[in-house]
């Protein structure tokens, strides 16, 4: 591979799923229903029917064009692409060629690939209608015209990718754009995303800016998943290198191949010379339509917050790590779930920990999607609140979480059913504690030398309370009691880590006595040692720090 | 014949006064349909169970009419006069027909056309040749042949037509009646089987100008299903006809009308152009100015080719939906390609196939600039030329064709390359979407001949007024064909 470099371009088709109706007819835009239900005379190409452009679809297409930094045309035109196939009832597809002007030309987009920022040039993006979907059986083919006429965006990049990672990272970025801009669900499983990939290789020492140095272009049709794109690119690069090495590369004609998912290989379809002549001409039934700059400005203002902006917000405002922020924005449904939790006044860090930890862990384990499970943001926040108020332990919360999903019940209901309320009453715990002290004199003696034996006492406490003792409280009470028995003075020190964002909550809570701002506007601990009477205050400050930046050590 | 030879206004009056019922009119029209069908072969379908309708204030209520068979009619066979759709019963009705039916008009038959409107003879429909009611050895011209024959024979006061090159205006001329196609987009095309979408117009064939105005008033209107339609609700054509044409300026084109342009002019042609001159004199008597203008002959000579290129290209694409897979009789074969091929080979006439070949050829990437794009440029030049004329003149007046109806037996027709332009010039009305009307202006050998008036877009009222003023001064209004049989 080192002797060669690959030039890869993509054609990405994505259905606009977020319009009520199809792009040129009033039939419902949805194919999740029974086959051949969402159709009308226009979709089926009955004689005398005429297309009527769906303005909402045009708006979404313009939005995509703006996001991709493309130039929008002054007038909207459509063209006919003429060819015969059973999935195309009219015998032509209404689409946009590069002449006179598609919905967007000559844009560019930056995307992240393995922590590097890359740039890809967009040749054009255009709006067209989808064809019917087909199922090929052994002896016959079935047609579902629900998909015929669904609005489709086709995006064509320049050959700016050099490997499969870049191409797939770009596709993932695009998917997020379509999702966040409310253009499409962009779900490859539903067939909403389909790609054609073109691959050529060239000697790595030649200048790729000069098209004369480019190798022979091979187009691979109908790659319907991102992993397929990755595999197809890698396969095709290998194949072409082998041809080079064996001296057969120059005989290879410019050609179209198709990706075969079963054999994981590309299969020859036709040479460029046999390409179909689509006989494009301007669709006469759709008068040219002026796209006013006012309209473009309005659409610009309506672009929702996209993934990169949300990611930045999560990191900066909510103090999430880059990794967590990226994990959450990677799926719009997850990000929306997260924001819903925050709007329910949940601590952003805690919500993030739950989502990236428990929730994603569960979804991955059972190969589920967030929308498939019963848990709502409200339920999650209620679980978190119950932990924070000490009503349930963190261990109990995990059981509740799983049971909410599996039994489809409200968290409060489950807590009640399972008798999971914690003992947080200090007096109650102290009376049990006294029992434990009486029963374990030798362990108390041993504790002098082995402070780790605290765990033993906590275990005893749990045993006696059947696990209902609030562990933090129990641990604190036990430690204080044991230390006073053995006459040990404890000292406490606090420190503020670099997670601090300078929110000032600890400064306020301790009234600048323990924590105060330093010259950088961040908090720092201003006492050497925390006195016994301030211990509780310091712990409150720690527990309220939104970024978890305060660490308290006891000696 | 008791009533069907009357005008719409007359029939409406009789209906309102209770002197005749819708039922009687429908019955008479159906009887006449059957009677002339044997003679002229004008209908694909006679709607025997047509029901009378309530008579209201609307002039068309309760009155029978005919529909060209390329309009989609729900529950009624709609073939486009093609074997490809010989059993096709649509589940929706064309907007313009819906508009007529809504006001109480009663369709009684579907009329024969040249297959999908692609022809000018009335001889290529799948149900056979349509004969001219003035002389059954003559053609009606096309493609609205059945509509023209039926209106001329007095089956009803009007029938709908469609016009891509001259398909309303030429048959109207050959059958001695009025043919009017309004400005492009005034009548919705939704439900009209397309031939060449940028040239296709809906329109009507009647026996008087006022009847044409009444019918179009009721067919027209902006239609959310046709993006090329526009709102004409502020235009009432019928009420705007006052015959006041004083001071209007007309022009005719020297290259078409001057007999000296034709080296081997036949006596028919001479007579036709002489007769046309008389009509021009009549215009002057009516207080209009008439001037001769000259147009670049080279540009005019390109007209017919431009029409062939554009219409065939659009037709090839428009008729790609006819595969027999979703509707139409499914073809035989081992795969979809064979099935489509079988269906299209068997069912299209050779004339249409020839046009498809031309259409495909001019759209192929290696030919597109030379033919299709150039044709579009010349179309624009021709339209601009006419638009310039309209800056100075209210309308262009020209003779239709080179004489009366042609013989069905082609060997009897005089082939004359010089007159191609006379035969084809009405296509300019389609290139520009101009309102254009043909009215009878005389007889040659006992056969009707006609003139045409074409105006600028949206100036339908002016065009109708000129036609009405002329019609009023000539004895050809409301004429019914004599029914000469030379067989």
**Domain contains B347:** no
Interface contact B326-A50, CB threshold 8 A: no
Q: Is residue B367 part of a domain?
A: no
Q: Does A40 contact chain B (CB < 8 Å)?
A: no
Q: What average pLDDT does chain B have? A: 96
pLDDT tens per residue across span B308-342: 999 999 999 999 999 999 998 999 999 889 999 99
User: Is B425 an 8 Å CB contact of chain A?
Assistant: no
Kindly determine whether residue B360 and residue A284, on different chains, have CB atoms separated by under 8 Å: no
B48 within a domain of the structure (yes/no): yes
3-class DSSP assignment, residue B442:
strand
What are A327's two structure tokens? Answer: 């994990």
Contact flag B226-A277 (C-beta cutoff 8 Å): no
Catalytic residues of B: 68, 143, 167
Q: Is A44 on the interface with B (CB under 8 A)?
A: yes
Residue B141: how many other CB atoms lie within 10 Å = 31
Q: Which two tokens stand for residue A553?
A: 């050590």
- By the CB < 8 Å criterion, does A522 face chain B? no
Across the A:B interface, residue pairs with CB atoms under 8 Å apart total: 98
C-alpha span between B140 and B238 (Å, rounded): 28
Q: In CATH, what number is assigned to the domain containing residue B188?
A: 3.90.1300.10
Distance CA A474, CA A39 (A): 66
Chain B: closest CA distance from residue A89 (Å): 6
Structure tokens given for A27: 């039939």
Cis peptide before A100 (omega within 30 of 0): yes
**Is residue B128 included in any domain, yes or no?**
yes
The answer, for A419 touching chain B at a CB cutoff of 8 Å, is no
- pTM, whole model, 2 decimals? 0.85
Beta carbons of B224 and A91 less than 8 Å apart: no
- A47 and B193 within 8 Å at the Cβ level: the answer is yes
For A129, the 3-state DSSP assignment is strand
- Does residue B426 register a pLDDT over 60? yes
Closest CA–CA distance from residue B127 to any residue of chain A (Å):
20
Residue B382 CA to residue B376 CA, distance in Å, equals: 10
In angstroms and rounded to an integer, the radius of gyration of the C-alpha atoms of chain A is: 31
Per the CB < 8 A criterion, the answer to whether B373 and A282 are in contact is no
In whole angstroms, what is the distance from residue A13 CA to residue A7 CA?
A: 20
Assess whether pLDDT exceeds 60 at residue B484: no
Does B160 map to a domain? yes
In chain B, the number of structural domains is 1
* CA nearest to B184 within chain A: A285
Q: What pLDDT band is residue B486 in, cutting at 50, 70 and 90?
A: very low
pLDDT in tens, B153-179: 999 999 999 999 999 999 999 999 999
Average confidence (pLDDT) per 10 residues, chain A, 555 residues: 89 95 96 89 97 97 98 95 95 88 94 94 97 90 94 97 97 96 92 95 91 92 94 96 92 92 91 86 96 97 95 93 92 94 93 93 90 92 88 84 91 82 79 86 84 86 81 84 75 84 83 84 84 81 85 77
Q: Is the pLDDT of residue B277 over 90?
A: yes
List of domains in chain A: 4-208+281-295 (no CATH), 308-417 (no CATH), 422-488 (1.10.10.410), 489-555 (3.30.70.20)
Report B:454-473 residues touching A (Cβ under 8 A): none
Note down the domain range covering B56.
8-245+462-472
Percent of residues, chain B, with pLDDT higher than 70: 99
In a domain, B390, yes or no: no
Residue A195's Cα: distance from chain center in Å?
20
Six token digits for residue A324: 């967590």
Average pLDDT over residues B368-392: 97
Q: Which of B78, B197, B317 sits opposite A82 (nearest CB)?
A: B317
Provide the pairing of β-strand A281-282 with A79-82.
antiparallel
Where in A336-377 does DSSP place strands (E)?
none
List the one residue out of B247, B180, B250 whose CA is nearest residue B390: B250
Q: Is residue B78 part of a domain?
A: yes
Residue showing tokens 């740039």: A119
**Any domain includes B414:** no
What whole-number distance in Å separates Cα of residue B153 and Cα of residue A546?
93
Q: List, for residues B79-120, the tens digit of each pLDDT value.
A: 999 999 999 999 999 999 999 999 999 999 999 999 999 999
Q: Fill in the DSSP letter of residue A489.
A: P
How near does any CA of chain B get to the CA of A76, in Å?
13
Tokens of A161: 């990718």
**pLDDT band at B469; cut points 50, 70, 90:** very high
């Amino acid at each position: 591979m080192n002797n060669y470099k690959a030039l890869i371009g993509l054609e990405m088709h994505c259905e606009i799923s977020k319009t009520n109706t199809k792009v040129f007819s009033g039939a419902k835009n949805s194919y999740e229903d029974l086959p051949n239900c969402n159709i009308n005379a226009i979709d089926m190409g009955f004689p005398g029917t005429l297309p009527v452009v769906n303005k909402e679809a045009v708006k979404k297409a313009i939005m995509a064009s703006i996001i991709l930094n493309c130039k929008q045309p002054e007038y909207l035109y459509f063209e006919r692409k003429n060819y015969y196939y059973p999935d195309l009832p009219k015998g032509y597809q209404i689409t946009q060629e590069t002449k006179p002007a598609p919905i967007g030309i000559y844009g560019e987009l930056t995307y992240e690939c393995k922590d590097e920022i890359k740039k890809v040039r967009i040749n054009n993006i255009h709006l067209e209608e989808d064809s019917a979907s087909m199922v090929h059986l052994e002896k016959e083919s079935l047609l579902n015209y629900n998909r015929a006429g669904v609005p489709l965006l086709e995006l064509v990049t320049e050959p700016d990718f050099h490997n499969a990672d870049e191409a797939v990272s770009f596709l993932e970025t695009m998917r997020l754009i379509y999702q966040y801009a409310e253009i499409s669900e962009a779900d490859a499983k539903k067939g909403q995303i389909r790609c054609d990939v073109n691959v050529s290789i060239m000697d790595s020492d030649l200048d790729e800016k000069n098209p004369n140095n480019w190798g022979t272009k091979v187009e691979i049709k109908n790659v319907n998943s991102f992993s397929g794109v990755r595999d197809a690119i890698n396969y095709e690069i290998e194949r072409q290198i082998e041809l080079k090495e064996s001296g057969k590369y120059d005989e290879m004609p410019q050609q179209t191949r198709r990706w075969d998912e079963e054999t994981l290989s590309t299969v020859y379809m036709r040479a460029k010379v046999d390409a179909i002549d689509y006989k494009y001409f301007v669709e006469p039934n759709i008068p040219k339509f002026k796209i006013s700059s006012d309209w473009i400005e309005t659409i610009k203002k309506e672009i929702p917050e996209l993934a990169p902006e949300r990611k930045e917000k999560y990191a900066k405002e909510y103090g999430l790590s880059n990794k967590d922020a990226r994990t959450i924005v990677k799926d719009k449904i997850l990000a929306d779930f997260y924001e819903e939790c925050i709007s329910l006044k949940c601590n952003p860090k805690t919500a993030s920990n739950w989502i990236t930890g428990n929730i994603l862990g569960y979804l991955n384990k059972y190969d589920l999607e967030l929308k498939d499970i019963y848990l709502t943001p409200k339920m999650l926040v209620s679980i978190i609140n119950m932990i924070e108020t000490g009503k349930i332990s963190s261990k109990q919360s995990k059981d509740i979480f799983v049971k909410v999903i599996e039994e489809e019940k409200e968290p409060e209901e489950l807590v009640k059913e399972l008798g999971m309320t914690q003992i947080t009453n200090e007096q109650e715990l102290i009376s049990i504690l006294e029992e434990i002290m009486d029963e374990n004199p030798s362990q108390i003696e041993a504790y002098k030398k082995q402070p780790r034996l605290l765990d033993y006492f906590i275990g005893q406490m749990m045993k006696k309370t059947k696990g209902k003792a609030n562990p933090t409280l129990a641990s604190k009470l036990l430690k204080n009691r044991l230390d006073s028995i053995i006459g040990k003075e404890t000292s406490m020190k606090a420190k503020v880590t670099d997670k601090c964002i300078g929110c000032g909550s600890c400064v306020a809570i301790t009234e600048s006595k323990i924590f105060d701002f330093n010259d950088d506007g961040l908090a720092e601990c201003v006492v050497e040692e925390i006195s016994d009477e301030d211990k509780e205050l310091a712990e409150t400050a720690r527990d309220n720090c939104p970024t978890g930046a305060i660490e308290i050590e006891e000696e | 014949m008791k009533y069907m030879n009357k005008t719409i206004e007359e029939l409406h009056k009789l209906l309102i006064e209770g002197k005749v019922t819708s039922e009687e009119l429908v019955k008479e029209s159906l009887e006449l349909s059957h009677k002339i069908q044997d003679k002229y072969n004008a209908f694909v379908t006679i709607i025997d169970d047509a029901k009378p309708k309530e008579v209201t204030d609307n002039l068309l209520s309760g009155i029978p009419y005919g529909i060209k068979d390329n309009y989609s009619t729900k529950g009624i066979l709609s073939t486009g006069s093609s074997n490809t759709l010989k059993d096709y019963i649509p589940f929706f009705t064309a907007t313009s027909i819906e508009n007529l039916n809504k006001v109480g008009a009663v369709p009684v038959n579907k009329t024969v056309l040249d297959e999908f409107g692609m022809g000018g003879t009335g001889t290529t429909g799948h149900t056979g040749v349509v004969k001219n009611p003035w002389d059954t050895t003559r053609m009606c011209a096309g493609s609205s042949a059945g509509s023209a024959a039926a209106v001329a024979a007095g089956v009803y006061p009007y029938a709908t037509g469609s016009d891509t090159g001259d398909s309303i205006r030429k048959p109207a001329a050959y059958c001695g009646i009025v043919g009017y196609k309004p400005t492009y987009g005034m009548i919705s095309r939704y439900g009209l089987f397309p031939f060449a979408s940028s040239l296709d117009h809906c329109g009507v064939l009647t026996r008087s100008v006022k009847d044409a105005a009444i019918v179009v008033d009721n067919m027209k209107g902006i239609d959310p299903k046709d993006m090329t339609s526009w709102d004409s609700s502020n235009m009432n054509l019928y009420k705007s006809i006052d015959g006041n044409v004083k001071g209007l300026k007309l022009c005719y084109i020297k290259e078409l009308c001057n007999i000296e342009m034709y080296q081997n002019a036949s006596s028919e042609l001479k007579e036709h152009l002489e007769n046309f001159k008389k009509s021009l004199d009549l215009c002057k008597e009516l207080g209009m100015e008439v001037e001769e203008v000259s147009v670049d002959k080279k540009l005019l000579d390109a007209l017919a080719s431009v029409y062939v290129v554009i219409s065939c290209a659009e037709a090839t694409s428009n008729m790609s939906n006819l595969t027999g897979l979703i509707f139409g009789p499914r073809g035989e074969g081992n795969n979809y390609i064979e099935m489509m091929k079988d269906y299209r080979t068997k069912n299209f006439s050779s004339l249409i196939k020839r046009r498809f070949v031309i259409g495909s050829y001019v759209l192929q990437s290696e030919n597109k600039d030379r033919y299709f794009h150039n044709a579009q440029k010349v179309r624009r030049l021709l339209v601009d030329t006419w638009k310039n004329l309209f800056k100075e003149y209210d309308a262009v007046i020209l003779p239709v064709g080179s004489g009366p109806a042609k013989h069905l037996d082609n060997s009897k027709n005089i082939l004359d390359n010089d007159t191609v332009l006379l035969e084809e010039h009405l296509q300019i009305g389609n290139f520009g979407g101009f309102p254009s009307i043909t009215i009878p202006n005389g007889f040659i050998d006992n056969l009707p001949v006609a003139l045409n008036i074409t105006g600028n877009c949206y100036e339908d009222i002016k065009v109708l007024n000129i036609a009405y003023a002329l019609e009023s001064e000539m004895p050809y209004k409301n004429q019914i064909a004599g029914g000469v049989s030379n067989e």
